[in-house]
Amino acid sequence: MADLRNRFTHIFFDADDTLWENEQFFRDAEAQFADLLSDWSAPEGLQRLLWQKQEENIPLFGYGSKTYLIGMTDAAMELCGGTLPEKVYLGIKKIITELTYHEFRLIDGVEKTLQALHGKFELVVATKGDVTEQMAKYRKSGLDRYFHHAEVMENKDEKNYLELAAKHNLAPEQILMVGNSVKSDIVPVINIGGYAINTPHDVIWVHEMMDMPESDRITIVKRIDDIPKILL
């Protein structure tokens, strides 16, 4: 594992499930969706169909809860035989509204981690998803006092990280990305020559599942507040 001290000027932080809880709220919404459709389908078949519809819609409409509204509607339409009962549509809309305006919960240790790093590094949020939703969560978090900047990236692949580096006048090897997702926060950053710290979260979206690559530029921590002691 590489020594990360005195190497970076900037630290980029993923937001969902790195700074604040997110995925659990989607799991809860899926459980409510399964309840709503219980007269038409068993939960397991329903889950698979919903994921399939999500994968179809993400390239068209991006990430975020509005895409879930479309995915749930598509799945329900198929299960209900091509016509969507009013009660099902209104039920889906209610689930998505509650998902969009769910209670906001910071992950333990985030605030003291950012306090320790603030002033010593340029801290940047690098998240993906729906711009309106992500910025609303960022404002609600109160964390903007620690960050110089927040980026809502259209995706998190190699090209997007190269653009992010260029935007901040950094060479790719000067990127240090902190995040929970191996697929979005670790693999593409390592592929362009950057460094990554993985803060694992116990709820992982199927869409984000990937094996951890082998690289001495990856550091895995148990909790986010382990980070200051490896950087300072």
Question: What does the binding site for Mg ion look like in residue numbers (CB under 5 A)?
Answer: 14, 16-17, 180-181
Minimum distance of Mg ion from residue 201's CB (angstroms): 7
Nearer to Mg ion, 14 or 30 (CB): 14
Minimum distance of Mg ion from residue 177's CB (angstroms): 11
- Residue 191 structure tokens: 């592929």
Nearer to Mg ion, 185 or 225 (CB): 185
Count of CB atoms situated within 10 Å of the CB of 132: 12
Task: For residues 217 and 187, give the distance between their C-alpha atoms in angstroms, rounded to a whole number.
Answer: 11
Task: For residues 181 and 200, give the distance between their C-alpha atoms in angstroms, rounded to a whole number.
Answer: 7
Minimum distance of Mg ion from residue 119's CB (angstroms): 25
Nearer to Mg ion, 92 or 189 (CB): 189
Task: For residues 109 and 115, give the distance between their C-alpha atoms in angstroms, rounded to a whole number.
Answer: 10
Minimum distance of Mg ion from residue 158's CB (angstroms): 18
Longest dimension (CA), the chain: 61
Minimum distance of Mg ion from residue 9's CB (angstroms): 23
Among the residues of 142-184, which ranges form H helices? 158-167
Give the SS3 label for residue 53: helix
Among the residues of the chain, which ranges form H helices? 23-36, 43-61, 65-79, 86-100, 110-117, 131-141, 158-167, 187-191, 227-231
Residue with tokens 């000067």: 174
Q: Show the beta-strand stretches assigned E in the chain.
A: 10-13, 122-128, 149-153, 176-179, 195-198, 218-220
Pairing of strands 10-13, 122-128: parallel
Minimum distance of Mg ion from residue 3's CB (angstroms): 26
**Nearest CA-CA partner of 128 in 201, 179, 191, 60:** 179
Nearer to Mg ion, 16 or 74 (CB): 16
Nearer to Mg ion, 54 or 73 (CB): 54
Nearer to Mg ion, 19 or 192 (CB): 19
